[in-house]
Structure 1
Amino acid sequence: MDLKDNLFEIIKVNASQKEQDWIETKANGSLQSMQTAFVATPRFISKTPVNSDITLRGISFETWTLDRLVRAYFLVCLDNSDIEIYIKTLNTLFETAENNEAVALISSLALLENPESWLLRATDAVRTNIGVVFDAIAFDNPYAKTYFSELAWNQLVLKCIFNDKPIHKIQGLDERPNKELAISISNLAHERWAAGRTIPPQAWRLVTNFLDEIILEDIKKLFASTNDNDQLAAALVCKNSEFPLAKSELIKHIELDEKAKNLSWSALEV
């Protein structure tokens, strides 16, 4: 089966017969009809959570609602034989989208024809102040991991950290750590500490492979914290780092060293 058929199979498991009939009618209609259906979807399709463990193009639908899935299906059904009309149609949907429509568009980017062509739309979603739209590109979405430059990737991760969002929901988090990101996390921590605040303990996982004498001073500060999760984050960084001085530092904290032996970053996920 192709992508369209696979999506409809998931829809059939979750939609009533009446909903399926409406979807099939619209999917086989004109371009204008499909555009109208994309906007009108919530009037005819429920917002019930999708029940599926299937992953397509790196997208898991476990956190999706049925109306978002149906909108994604309509996007995949768009005729792309005339690429100019196809791009114009999608750009119109992006430019006129209300929040839920924007969420459907952004979370479906990896399903679109020539997904790399929509990079600007994706990076616009990182810059938005609309939380649900930002979450659609940041969480449970393979697009950023696959297509973002290092700069754009770092901006996404740092915005999540800055806003205390759950970074463990970012796909590719452990695949795309980099030195610049580690330095930025250290700098952000210093700014927060100066203001009497902290950063989420889990953020420190991203400095593990880039530990040096400078960032190790940050880890020492975490060991001295009164926050248990900060201390555990310090222990996990030192446990997983290849930096020799990190192992020496961990030995100084015997109790945390013991805890870290049976601990993973998932223990700090919130």
Structure 2
Amino acid sequence: MSFSEQLFEKIKEYATSKEITWIESKASGSLQSLQTAFVATPRFISKTLIQSTETINDLSIKDWSLDRLVRVYLLSQMDSSDKDSYTKALDTLFETAENNEAVALISALPFLAFPDYWMLRATDAVRSNIGLVFDAIAFQNPFPMQYFSELAWNQLVLKCIFNDKPIHRIQGLNERANQELAISISNLAHERWAAGRTIPAQAWRLVSKFMNEAIFKDICTLFVSQNQNDQIAATLVCNETDFSAAKEELEKHQELQNKTFSWSMLEV
């Protein structure tokens, strides 16, 4: 079963017969008619919430509205045999999109042909000041994990940390952890501490494999923090790292070392 067919099967679990009839009448249309249907979708499709925990092409659709799912399905039906016509039709939608349309377009990236072509649209979403648009690229979306450069990836993760967003919802978070990101997290922490502020404790999960003397000093700072979550993060990092000084430091904190912690305890 193709990804497009999987999308439609999920739609049928939530749509009324009248809605299904409308979708079927539009799904095989031309690029132009699918453009029109994409824009018109909320007039004919409800905002019923999708409660499925399944993923389609590694994309989570949980808590989407039905009209968002239908819009993504319609985009997946577009004929990509003529690249110029295909990309032009989608570019027109991107350029004229209101917020909900932009969310659907970003959500559809894993189903669009020519993924390299959409890189600028994806990185623009990372820079967006519209929360819903940013969340559509950042969370439960495999596109950044699969296609972003290290620089673009790091910008996405750091923006989440800076804005206290739940980084555990980023697909590929642990797999794409890297030295430059670990250093950037350390630098951000120093800026925040200097201003009397903190960073989310779970951000430290990304430094365990990249420990150095500077980051080790940060972990020592976390151990003496008045915030219990910082102490938990320090304990977890020391358990995960191969850095010998961190193992020695952990020995000094028996009250923490003997407890069972997990990063999920810090997910909010």
TM-score where L is the length of structure 2 = 0.98
2: CA distance between counterparts of 1:182 and 1:4? 38
**Structure 1 portions without partners, runs of 5+:** none
Q: How does 1:1-270 map to 2 (within 5 A)?
A: 1-259=1-259, 262-270=260-268
2: CA distance between counterparts of 1:215 and 1:30? 55
Given that 2:31 and 2:86 are in contact with CA atoms closer than 8 Å, whether structure 1 keeps it comes out as no
Given that 1:166 and 1:269 are in contact with CA atoms closer than 8 Å, whether structure 2 keeps it comes out as yes
Given that 1:49 and 1:66 are in contact with CA atoms closer than 8 Å, whether structure 2 keeps it comes out as yes
2: CA distance between counterparts of 1:30 and 1:122? 25
2: CA distance between counterparts of 1:258 and 1:105? 48
1:39-79 CA distances to partner (integer Å, 9 max, x unpaired)? 11111111111133332211121132111110001101111
2: CA distance between counterparts of 1:9 and 1:52? 12
Over the aligned positions, Cα root-mean-square deviation in angstroms equals 1.0
Q: CA deviation at 1:3?
A: 2.1
1:83-105 CA distances to partner (integer Å, 9 max, x unpaired)? 11000000000000001100011
Report the 3-state secondary structure (helix = DSSP H, G, I; strand = E; otherwise coil) of the residue aligned with 1:140: coil
2: CA distance between counterparts of 1:40 and 1:255? 60
2: CA distance between counterparts of 1:214 and 1:84? 50
Given that 1:103 and 1:136 are in contact with CA atoms closer than 8 Å, whether structure 2 keeps it comes out as yes
Report the 3-state secondary structure (helix = DSSP H, G, I; strand = E; otherwise coil) of the residue aligned with 1:198: coil
Report the 3-state secondary structure (helix = DSSP H, G, I; strand = E; otherwise coil) of the residue aligned with 1:7: helix
Extract structure 1 runs of 4+ deviating beyond 6 A.
Answer: none
2: CA distance between counterparts of 1:117 and 1:265? 36
Given that 2:30 and 2:78 are in contact with CA atoms closer than 8 Å, whether structure 1 keeps it comes out as no
Given that 2:106 and 2:136 are in contact with CA atoms closer than 8 Å, whether structure 1 keeps it comes out as yes
Given that 2:106 and 2:133 are in contact with CA atoms closer than 8 Å, whether structure 1 keeps it comes out as yes
Q: CA deviation at 1:245?
A: 0.8
2: CA distance between counterparts of 1:4 and 1:170? 23
Report the 3-state secondary structure (helix = DSSP H, G, I; strand = E; otherwise coil) of the residue aligned with 2:87: helix
Given that 2:26 and 2:33 are in contact with CA atoms closer than 8 Å, whether structure 1 keeps it comes out as yes
Given that 1:14 and 1:51 are in contact with CA atoms closer than 8 Å, whether structure 2 keeps it comes out as no
Given that 1:140 and 1:171 are in contact with CA atoms closer than 8 Å, whether structure 2 keeps it comes out as yes
**Structure 2 portions without partners, runs of 5+:** none
Give the partner amino acid of 1:148.
F
Given that 2:99 and 2:133 are in contact with CA atoms closer than 8 Å, whether structure 1 keeps it comes out as yes
Report the 3-state secondary structure (helix = DSSP H, G, I; strand = E; otherwise coil) of the residue aligned with 2:207: helix
1:236-264 CA distances to partner (integer Å, 9 max, x unpaired)? 110111111111111101111112xx221
Given that 1:50 and 1:64 are in contact with CA atoms closer than 8 Å, whether structure 2 keeps it comes out as yes
Given that 2:46 and 2:66 are in contact with CA atoms closer than 8 Å, whether structure 1 keeps it comes out as yes
Report the 3-state secondary structure (helix = DSSP H, G, I; strand = E; otherwise coil) of the residue aligned with 1:236: helix
Report the 3-state secondary structure (helix = DSSP H, G, I; strand = E; otherwise coil) of the residue aligned with 2:151: helix
Q: CA deviation at 1:32?
A: 2.2
1: CA distance between counterparts of 2:31 and 2:189? 50
